[in-house]
């Protein structure tokens, strides 16, 4: 069954198409020109203008969607920029939604870490720990701001307990029943987020192990996905992807929702660095990594290679 290319095509169990890919994008407040990110070669912090152009390019390449992250010029303890209609992420969402219409699905990261001066994903209590329930109030306000700005899928990436139910209830009460919730259900406290922290100028000291998951836990990943399904998630996610393919497969088998995976910044940086050294074939490695994430059970993969891979797959 492997002796010729046509036979291999007939026998291949897993497909990878442009529509299976979502492009994460960064937009930085006050930038006139896009700025390179040292640890993510080929990825930039966009200006509003370059973001709109790049989103239009992504639509043209046929990717399924874009996921927007904002980098504000000022931060405070509660992340005020996150739910301000004039905050960079909400401004960018309106601009991209107007630019691409319904050529692709406009999605936004719903988390406070880019907007807080301490870099944590929530607001802090007097002891300095993240206050789960006070954070939920901030997330609900962000959810409304993002839905009003035209985001169709809100990516709840903060790992607070009850975040899906809280956002769903708020959105429904305000007439946004059709705004979808992507729950980052099994999000691990991972070293592979390193380059992302440079991309968003993260202010974080320390780590997120008090709310993101322990990489040693698989059953807990499944439990988190089932909880989010019960809370009303439309999509559940496993993140990172390549170091957690077993979790991805178990979640795929356990829930009946679409399951997405995030091929994170460190996964991108690893392959780019090895390829730049001539140690591996870049294109073959990128496509194999994406196909493998699909094989493990992801319906859709968030990847910084989304547009380039979509063009290769044409
Ligand atoms: C949190 C968030 C993070 C990433 C996506 N959303 C960072 C974190 O949890 O520290 C990481 C994505 C990547 O590494 O590509 N808003």
Provide CB contacts within 8 A for 237, sequence distance 6+. 155, 182, 183, 184, 185, 186, 187, 259, 260, 261, 262
Name the percent of the chain lying above pLDDT 70: 100
Give yes or no for residue 176 CB within 6 A of ligand 1. no
pLDDT value of residue 227? 98
The H-or-E segment that residue 221 falls in is helix 219-231
In angstroms, rounded to a whole number, what is the distance separating the alpha carbons of residues 72 and 64?
26
Provide the pLDDT confidence category of residue 73 given band limits of 50, 70 and 90: very high
Q: Is 224 annotated as a binding residue?
A: yes
**Is the residue at 2 inside a domain?**
no
With the most atoms of ligand 1 within 8 angstroms of its CB, the residue from 41, 67, 111, 116 to mutate is 111
pLDDT value of residue 35? 97
Domain span at 262: 13-313
Which has the higher per-residue pLDDT, 236 or 199?
236
pLDDT value of residue 72? 97
pLDDT value of residue 207? 93
Q: Is 187 a residue of the active site? A: yes
Which pair of tokens denotes residue 219? 């059953």
Which pair of tokens denotes residue 306? 């989304």
**Is the residue at 160 inside a domain?**
yes
How many structural domains is the chain composed of?
Answer: 1
| Across 78-107, average pLDDT | 97
Burial zone of 67 (CB within 10 Å; 0-12 exposed, 13-18 middle, 19+ buried)? buried
pLDDT value of residue 221? 98
Q: Which residue has the tokens 């969402």?
A: 93
**Is the residue at 236 inside a domain?**
yes
Give the active site residue among 28, 52, 168, 187: 187
**How much distance in Å is there from the Cα of 309 to the middle of ligand 1?**
21
pLDDT value of residue 50? 98
Q: Which residue has the tokens 């985001």?
A: 151
**Is the residue at 1 inside a domain?**
no
73 three-class SS? coil
pLDDT value of residue 66? 98
pLDDT tens by residue, 145-195: 999 999 999 999 999 999 999 999 999 999 999 999 999 999 999 999 999
Q: Which residue has the tokens 């979502």?
A: 22
**Is the residue at 81 inside a domain?**
yes
Give yes or no for residue 267 CB within 6 A of ligand 1. no
Calculate the average pLDDT of the chain. 97
Phi and psi, residue 300, nearest 5°:
-140, 145
Which pair of tokens denotes residue 213? 């998951």
| Across 270-286, average pLDDT | 98
| Across 24-45, average pLDDT | 97
Give yes or no for residue 193 CB within 6 A of ligand 1. yes
Query: Full-prediction pTM beyond 0.90?
Result: yes
Q: Is 52 a residue of the active site? A: no
Please, are residues 28 and 69 in contact by the beta-carbon 8 Å criterion?
Answer: no
In angstroms, rounded to a whole number, what is the distance separating the alpha carbons of residues 75 and 70?
12
CA distances from 288 to 22, 248, 270, 271, 294 (A): 17, 17, 14, 11, 10
Please, are residues 266 and 192 in contact by the beta-carbon 8 Å criterion?
Answer: yes
**Is the residue at 7 inside a domain?**
no
Provide the pLDDT confidence category of residue 267 given band limits of 50, 70 and 90: very high
pLDDT value of residue 38? 95
Helical residues (DSSP H) of 62-181, grouped into ranges: 88-100, 132-149, 163-173
Name the percent of the chain lying above pLDDT 90: 97
**Is the residue at 6 inside a domain?**
no
pLDDT value of residue 105? 98
- We report the CATH number of the domain holding residue 37 as 3.20.20.70
Give yes or no for residue 113 CB within 6 A of ligand 1. yes
**Is the residue at 5 inside a domain?**
no
Which pair of tokens denotes residue 145? 């701001």
With the most atoms of ligand 1 within 8 angstroms of its CB, the residue from 196, 198, 243 to mutate is 196
């Amino acid at each position: 069954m492997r002796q010729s290319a046509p036979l291999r095509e007939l026998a291949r169990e897993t497909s990878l198409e442009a529509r299976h890919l979502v492009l994460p994008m960064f937009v930085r407040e006050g930038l006139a020109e896009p700025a390179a990110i040292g640890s993510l070669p080929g990825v930039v912090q966009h200006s509003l203008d370059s973001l709109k152009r790049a989103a239009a390019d992504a639509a043209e390449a046929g990717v399924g969607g874009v996921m927007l992250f904002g980098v504000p010029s000022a931060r405070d303890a509660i992340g005020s920029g996150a739910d301000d209609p004039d905050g960079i992420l909400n401004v960018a969402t309106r601009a991209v939604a107007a630019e691409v219409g319904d050529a692709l699905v406009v999605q936004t990261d719903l988390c406070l870490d880019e907007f807080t001066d301490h870099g944590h994903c929530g607001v802090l209590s007097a002891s300095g720990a993240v206050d789960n329930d006070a954070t939920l109030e901030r997330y609900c306000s962000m959810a409304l701001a993002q839905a009003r700005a035209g985001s169709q899928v809100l990516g709840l990436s903060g790992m607070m307990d009850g975040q899906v139910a809280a956002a769903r209830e708020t959105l429904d009460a305000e007439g946004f029943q059709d705004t979808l919730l992507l729950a980052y259900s099994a999000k691990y406290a991972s070293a592979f987020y390193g380059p992302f922290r440079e991309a968003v100028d993260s202010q974080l000291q320390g780590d997120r192990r008090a709310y993101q998951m322990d990489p040693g836990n698989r059953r807990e990943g499944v439990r988190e996905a089932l909880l989010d399904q019960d809370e009303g998630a439309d999509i559940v996610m496993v993140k990172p992807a390549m170091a957690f393919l077993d979790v991805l497969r178990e979640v795929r088998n356990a829930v009946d929702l679409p399951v997405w995976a995030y091929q994170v910044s460190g996964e991108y940086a690893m392959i780019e660095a090895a390829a730049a050294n001539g140690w591996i074939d870049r294109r073959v490695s990128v496509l194999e990594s994406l196909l493998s994430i699909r094989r493990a059970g992801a319906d859709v993969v968030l990847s910084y290679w989304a547009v380039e891979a979509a063009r290769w797959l044409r």
